[in-house]
Amino acid sequence: MSVEETEERSESALPYGLPGKPLARGPFLFGLVGGLGVLTAIALAQMVVHSLSVIILVVVAMFLAVGLNPAVESLQRRGLARRWAISIVFAGVIVGFTLFGLAVVPPVSKQLAEFIAAVPQLLTDLGQNPTLRQLDADYQILPQLSGLAGQLGPQLATGIMGAGLVVLDGVFTTVTLLVLMLYFLGSLHTIKQYMLRLVPASRRTRTAALTEEILGGIGGYVAGNVLISVIAGVLTWIFLSIADVKYALALALVVALTDLIPLVGATIGAVAVTGVAFIGSVPAGIACAIFFLVYQQIENYVIYPRVMKRSVDVAPAVTVIAALFGGALLGIVGALLAIPVAAAIALIVREIVLPRQAAN
């Protein structure tokens, strides 16, 4: 076939002629495409920033689902179907939340009601105080306080409404977290299989083994952290009951909850409970301070290493640094996620990066 015939066929197939050079080589269009790329990157960054709370909620739900998965698999090994195992574990989580609310809310409500009921008598006692009456006669303190109270009334009402909205938002976030956790727990195997299909077939077996190791470490970390918190809460409840501190169960639950936070959680719980004990009795407060000082040493050097030695293989210095970085980036959530993430990175470096470097 001649060159002329080939050109005629090409022109008949392309009635508008042969295409020219790509316009993308032009400087104007190149700059336009580059500018659109920059704008797209900025828009994506803004989307991530504005949806950061949702992203954190999803990550925490996935983290909790992975942490509860070993309990589900343990029930499966005992002959239960996965859906029934998930139902039992999820019911246990709901019961835990409910017990915490029942233990904490009534004491707080009772103390608030007692304070409100005591306000009239408190004002009467203040009005009969000789020193205050003399100061009121000299400086007109009571009328000024009455005017200040009238000004603060609307602000107080607004603050109460804001506090109510915060409580409703917290309840909604908790419910959303539990629902997401339930969905992730039910579809965890499907998610793993789908993610593995994105890996090349030649590396799929090794990637699956590393993934199972990482997920097992996260599950062990969550289970171990919960176990340590339960131990702290139970021992605190026993001690506070012996020391006859009011609201021992609620304070023990506060200690168990704050003990979940790495590095500073145990100290926060100890300071809070000790302060409450000091309000009731100075000897009880001193006893609480001694108890927490001794218990934290036992937890840090005896309980924590024995519980966590099979869960996360991370050096203590790396654990502290990871928790500090996680807390600086995402607050309490970042501190909770930092240690298992550091363990996963350490596993990848040990199993992939170091052998590759040794082979070169």
Q: What is the pLDDT of residue 122?
A: 61
Our count of domains for the chain comes to 2
Q: Based on the domain organization, do 115 and 230 belong to the same domain? A: no
180 domain residue, yes or no: yes
3-state secondary structure of 15: coil
Among 276, 264, 279, residue whose Cα is nearest residue 236: 276
Query: How many C-beta atoms lie closer than 10 Å to residue 232's C-beta?
Result: 26
Q: Based on the domain organization, do 176 and 270 belong to the same domain? A: no
Q: What is the pLDDT of residue 24?
A: 53
Q: What is the pLDDT of residue 291?
A: 93
HSE at residue 194, side-chain half, CA atoms within 13 A, is 5
Cα distance from N-terminal residue to C-terminal residue, the chain? 54
Q: What is the pLDDT of residue 213?
A: 81
Q: What is the pLDDT of residue 272?
A: 86
Q: What is the pLDDT of residue 355?
A: 81
What's the average pLDDT block by block, 10 residues per block, for the chain (360 residues)? Answer: 56 62 64 84 88 84 84 86 87 81 71 64 66 67 59 54 61 82 86 86 84 81 84 90 83 85 82 84 88 89 76 69 78 77 80 77
169 domain residue, yes or no: yes
Q: Based on the domain organization, do 117 and 214 belong to the same domain? A: no
Q: Based on the domain organization, do 327 and 226 belong to the same domain? A: yes
- Digit-coded pLDDT (tens) for 65-76: 888 888 888 888
Domain that holds residue 280: 210-354
Q: What is the pTM of this model?
A: 0.66
Q: What is the pLDDT of residue 4?
A: 57
HSE at residue 42, side-chain half, CA atoms within 13 A, is 6
Whether the CB-CB separation of 314 and 339 falls below 8 Å is answered with yes
Q: Based on the domain organization, do 177 and 286 belong to the same domain? A: no
Q: Based on the domain organization, do 79 and 183 belong to the same domain? A: yes
Q: Residue 219: enclosing H or E segment and its boundaries?
A: helix 204-242
HSE at residue 29, side-chain half, CA atoms within 13 A, is 5
171: its two tokens: 């309840």
Residue type, 236: T
